[in-house]
Structure 1
Amino acid sequence: MTAPFAPWRATILTLYPEMFPGPLGLSLAGTALARGAWGLEARDIREHGIGRHRSVDDTPAGGGAGMVLRCDVLAAAIDAAAPVNDPRPRLLMSPRGKPLTQARVRSLSAGPGVMIVCGRFEGVDERVIAGRTLEEVSIGDYVLSGGEIAAITLVDACVRLLPGVMGHAASGTEESFEGASLEYPHYTRPRDWEGRAIPAVLTGGDHGAVARWRRAESERITLERRPDLIARAARDEDGDGGGEETRR
């Protein structure tokens, strides 16, 4: 599972290391992992737990439901996994984090890797977020049972962009969210299916016409489904700072 000297490495801090590699051990990511194109290490936070029972959480200060991951336990786990000279960004999967974007994924995939903390319970003691400079990241406006599935999502998005992972270089650039639009529709054989035919322009052999059709379809779908992408791109072009950095 681990490839410690791979050029891009993901270290996951979790209470459930058995959840890894999970889907990351299959398909494109799994093939690349097996040949050492990237490395994965899942570390058990409970190894740094307190006392005979390896306690990792406690009741929230000020009262309230649930439990909170202790700052001393989590800090010890982070220090063991990513010492001060580790250049990788330290991420915390959190529903209150900055939304993960394709631009951020591309930036992370171009670096040395990531160290990801998977939260559980009601959350993480705020002091360790500041004390260990954790960047909070969200994969959507909903709440999961823990950060593991979110971490798998982030790592998969990064790994597929690593050199040689995808079979066709254009696969990483001609898709949704690489620009300010969603991807155009795709078709393949059979040419006719249940009374629905492949658009004639795609089978006519005119590559210029195909490119224009795909661009128009991309714009149409984006306008129908995600007009916010178009509006955000317009704000960025105007230079008013209304891009992804301001989204919460």
Structure 2
Amino acid sequence: MDPDTIAMISFTTDYGLSDGFVASCHGVLAVRAPQARILDITHLIPPGDVRRGAAILAQTVPSLPRAVHLAVVDPGVGTERRPIALATPGGYLVGPDNGLLLPAAEALGGVTTAVHLTNRAWFADEVSATFHGRDIFAPVAAHLVAGATLRDAGEEITDPVKLPPLYVEQAPGRLVSDVQTVDHFGNVQLAAPAGALAQLPASVEVNGSPARKTTTFGGAEPNTLLVFADSAGFVAVAVNGGNAATRLSATPGSRLTITY
């Protein structure tokens, strides 16, 4: 097989698992691209949480082979937001133009071509105003994995939507950062890069609570608040055997202050 051949579609949504939305999209992919392997990243993004979806996608795709990455977290479905596809050195991304795709594109080497999906010949025969995952994005992903040319999908654009940047401040004696994501263990990932830990001593406080800088969850006593570099390269806060998000009342977009 040519090393540049794409044989996989990854699939990320906030559709959940209790309805038929994921299966409907899988059905479209199976009919239109039966040769493709489908890898579900997750369908449990909190409903409408574009930033959480963007973070999970960006932190997962570098581990995958070159693929068409189909991602749908789309609270603006049916409005004037554009359906888009992006080409990168690591593959394609297909989804809504609401900031969901760009962090993953950057993780895959940057956008080389961006297209507003306007070629209706690539869509379902009938397009629902509320289910573009099935009727636009899945069919486009199937075309791309079959080797179609991205520029044939629509009109080239130069202004895909970016998410607003999160706040990070480093100053003597403190590190202030917005929360980027919270995982299902309750570990809190900050927007601050892991390199910011270099300025921190072993003992710190997080929002006034004592914490230890460690390299792993078991690096301090049980129930101790930990500050460490997570596997995605960001500063994170956890509790050994507990839930840091609950302890700190931390949610995506809230702000933590680490002092020392």
What's the TM-score once normalised by structure 2's chain length?
A: 0.34
Choose between structure 1 and 2: higher strand proportion.
2
- Radius of gyration: which is bigger? 1
Choose between structure 1 and 2: higher helix proportion.
1
What's the TM-score once normalised by structure 1's chain length?
A: 0.35
